[in-house]
Structure 1
Amino acid sequence: MNLSTSELFIGQIARLRRIFTEDDVQQCNELTKDFNPIYQRNEDSWKNRYSQPIVPGMLVEGLVTQVITDKLPGRACVLLQKEMIYYHPVHAGDVITAELTIIDVNLERNWVTQKVACFNQNGTEVIKGQVVLFVLSER
């Protein structure tokens, strides 16, 4: 989209959908050096709490960042603040939709606040939160 702050408005929505794979989890673990057994299929430590290993929250947040980068505002910006609440685990094979809705635009500071909601293929909200962005000007 590549929208400037003046082109953004309260109520504007953008969405993206992604299926997270075991390979995605493995690559995330390698990059972050986070080898928590909760992410590994061959570990038993998660079995008393979850039906299967979970996808790292940081990986799912990457989908949120992709919505920002590709769609809303779809231009260079800096993440100033992020607050996420994880209601339900995301598992490899889940289809996750990230939906961002603009709830405030501060033209003076070039700040945009967006509500974040992520849903799985069953319509269950798995993540809820908000982000504040500094949208870089074209100059």
Structure 2
Amino acid sequence: MDVIRLLDVRPDPLSVDEVLAAVSDRGAGGTVVFVGTVREADGGRGVTSLDYEAHPTVAEALRTVAEKVAAEHPLRALAAVHRVGHLDIGDTAVVVAAAAGHRQEAFAACRQLIDDLKREVPIWKHQRFDDGSEEWVGSP
């Protein structure tokens, strides 16, 4: 049984229900879902919108991160979906989930998955601020 049930990077709106369904498992005693959304402020500045862009190797990098998390935690299921393109305030940018026999394992795996994804997967954020300035976050 492959514990990695869903990995994707897409321009379409994300569904928490899709990710939760992907990690549904009768052997799981705990399932943890993290939902990242576009917030209205960052660093004390008002955000108006942002765009995410991904490197062509994004799918491979996401798979590598997920495989590492799956190898380090006793999981039943794992999933991660990240959006690219233009997003407005309140839009869902990323959904990750982990299901395990116990809640502690699910929490640890979900946290590692989102942290490693943000650090290692080549997805860059272009933020626009209400003062007219803009910045790239996570770009090389």
TM-score, normalised to structure 1's length? 0.30
Q: Which has the larger radius of gyration?
A: 1
Structure with greater strand percent = 2
Structure with greater helix percent = 2
TM-score, normalised to structure 2's length? 0.30
